[in-house]
C-alpha cells in the first residue's frame, strides 16, 4: 500500500481552495491519495491551532485517525515537524509569549496517534513551543507532562516521556522522575527503544536510565530489566565516542535565536562520568540480580574488564 513514505517526483501542492473543499467533504477523505492526505492533515492541524474552534474537534480528530490508518509513522512525524515549525514562525512573527498560542495544532498527534515516535516528537515540540503561563519557563514541559497520566495508551505514554526526556534540560528531570512506573511492560520496552533511537545523549538521560535500572533490579524477574540494561550499555558506548551533553533550553523556543534552541553548558567525557556511576553499578552487579547484564553495562562504561567497543 502506498502510505506516502516516498513522495512522488514533481508532486504539486494543492491550493488552499482545494484543501478547503476537501475539508468540507469528510466522506471523500478515505479515497484520497497519501500525498493529498498528508497536505490536508498539515493544513487542518495548523488551521485548528490558529483557530481552535470546538466545533472543529470532531473533524480534526477524524482526520488524525484516518492518517494513523493510512500514513506511515515517519510521514506523520514529518507532518508534526512541519506544523511545529509553522507554529514557531507564527509565534516569532507575532511575538507570542503567553497564552496557548497556536500549539493546539499539535494536540491531535498527542491524543490520537498510536505510534510512540510520533507522540514523542509532538510532545517535544509542544513543550518548547508553548508560551509561558504566569512567567513560568516550565509551563510547556509541565503541560505536556500532564498527558502521562491522561493518555490511556501505554505506547503513547512512553512517547510523551521520551519526548520530555529528549529535551535534555535538567529542569525537566523532576517532571519525569520514575515516570516508567506509569508504563506496563510493552510501554517500558517502547520507552527504552525510543531512548536508544535518539542521536545525542544528555546527562539527564544517563541519570534517568540509572534510576530506572535500579528500580527494575528491585523487582525479581522483571521482563524489562534486560532492555533497560541494554539501553544503559549503549549509552556508555555512545558516551565513549561522543561524550554526554549538559544543555539549557529556551522555553519557549522563540526566546532564543532561530535555529539555536539550546546552549551546551558542558560536554562530559565518559571518564568524567565514571565516578558518578561506579558505586551504583557495582552495587547492582553484586546483589544477585542479573549480574551478567550489569557487568556488561560496567564494561560499556569503561568500568569492567574486556571493555567492548561500539
Q: 214-266: per-residue pLDDT in tens? A: 999 887 667 899 999 999 999 999 999 999 999 999 999 999 999 999 999 99
The overall average pLDDT reported for the chain is 92
Query: Residue 245 carries which DSSP code?
Result: E
Question: Is residue 47 within 8 Å of 92, Cβ to Cβ?
Answer: no
pTM for this prediction: 0.93
The pLDDT of 277-292, averaged and rounded, is: 81
> For residue 135, which phi and psi values (nearest 5 degrees)?
75, 10
What's the rounded Cα separation, in Å, for the pair 191 and 149?
15
Query: Residue 98 carries which DSSP code?
Result: B
What's the rounded Cα separation, in Å, for the pair 41 and 151?
22
Nearest to 247, CA basis, from 201, 199, 197: 201
The pLDDT of 196-215, averaged and rounded, is: 95
What's the rounded Cα separation, in Å, for the pair 210 and 278?
11
If pLDDT is split at 50, 70 and 90, which confidence band does 285 have? confident
Question: Is residue 154 within 8 Å of 184, Cβ to Cβ?
Answer: yes
What's the rounded Cα separation, in Å, for the pair 255 and 252?
6
What is the total residue count of the chain?
A: 310
Amino acid at each position: 500500500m502506498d502510505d506516502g513514505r516516498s513522495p512522488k517526483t514533481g508532486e504539486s501542492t494543492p491550493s488552499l481552495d482545494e484543501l478547503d473543499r476537501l475539508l468540507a467533504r469528510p466522506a471523500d477523505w478515505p479515497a484520497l491519495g497519501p500525498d493529498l492526505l498528508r497536505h490536508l492533515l498539515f493544513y487542518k492541524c495548523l488551521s485548528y491551532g490558529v483557530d481552535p474552534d470546538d466545533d472543529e474537534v470532531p473533524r480534526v480528530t477524524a482526520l488524525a485517525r484516518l492518517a494513523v490508518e493510512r500514513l506511515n509513522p515517519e510521514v506523520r512525524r514529518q507532518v508534526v515537524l512541519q506544523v511545529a515549525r509553522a507554529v514557531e514562525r507564527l509565534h516569532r512573527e507575532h511575538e507570542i509569549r503567553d497564552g496557548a498560542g497556536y500549539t493546539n495544532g499539535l494536540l491531535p498527534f498527542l491524543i490520537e496517534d498510536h505510534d510512540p515516535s510520533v507522540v514523542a516528537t509532538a510532545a517535544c515540540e509542544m513543550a518548547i513551543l508553548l508560551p509561558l503561563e504566569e512567567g513560568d519557563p516550565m509551563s510547556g514541559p509541565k503541560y505536556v507532562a500532564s498527558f502521562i497520566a491522561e493518555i490511556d495508551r501505554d505506547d503513547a505514554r512512553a512517547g510523551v516521556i521520551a519526548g520530555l526526556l529528549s529535551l535534555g534540560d535538567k529542569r525537566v528531570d523532576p517532571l519525569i522522575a520514575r515516570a516508567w512506573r506509569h508504563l506496563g511492560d510493552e510501554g517500558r520496552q517502547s520507552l527504552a527503544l525510543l531512548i536508544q533511537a535518539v542521536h545525542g545523549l544528555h546527562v539527564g538521560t544517563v541519570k534517568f536510565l540509572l534510576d530506572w535500572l535500579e528500580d527494575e533490579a528491585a523487582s525479581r524477574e522483571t521482563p524489562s530489566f534486560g532492555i533497560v540494561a541494554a539501553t544503559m550499555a549503549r549509552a556508555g558506548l555512545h558516551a565513549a565516542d561522543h561524550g554526554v551533553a549538559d544543555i539549557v533550553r529556551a522555553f519557549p523556543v522563540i526566546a532564543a535565536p532561530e535555529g539555536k534552541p539550546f546552549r551546551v553548558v558542558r560536554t562530559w567525557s565518559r571518564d568524567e562520568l565514571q565516578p558518578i556511576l561506579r558505586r551504583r553499578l557495582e552495587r547492582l552487579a553484586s546483589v544477585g540480580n542479573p549480574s551478567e547484564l550489569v557487568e556488561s553495562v560496567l564494561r560499556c562504561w569503561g568500568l569492567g574488564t574486556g571493555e567492548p567497543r561500539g
